[in-house]
Amino acid sequence: MVTTYDMAVGSTMKHSLTRQWWRTVVLDEGHKIKNEGTDVSEACRKIRACTRVLLTGTPMQNNLHELWAMLNFLLPDIFVASAPFDSCFDLTKGVSAD
């Protein structure tokens, strides 16, 4: 099946995408799910699949938290919560203003 992000958040398609297990899900322009709170990101995370692939030329635009959001889609059992990731990669730690 080939669909668009807009179709994935629509009620009919969203129901179809989440009802069954897919062997592989490939998201082109995967950076569109960089904000885990958007409808598109939430809809994509509900798709059940054995293998997930993200294609993007822009994995991170603003901060490392965006990278966590994409890693959470790819490996939700490993990247469960953002707080530990954000804490480990806080680039302001140990930087003094002196």
Tens digit of pLDDT for each residue in 35-65? 999 999 999 999 999 999 999 988 777 888 8
Cβ proximity of 54 and 30 under 8 Å:
yes
d(CA 71, CA 11): 26
CA end-to-end span of the chain:
56
Q: Can you tell me the mean pLDDT for 70-86?
A: 93
Q: Which of 1.25.40.10, 2.60.40.10, 3.40.50.10810, 3.40.1160.10 is the CATH number of 5-88?
A: 3.40.50.10810
What pLDDT does residue 25 have? 93
d(CA 91, CA 27): 29
User: Has this prediction a pTM greater than 0.85?
Assistant: no
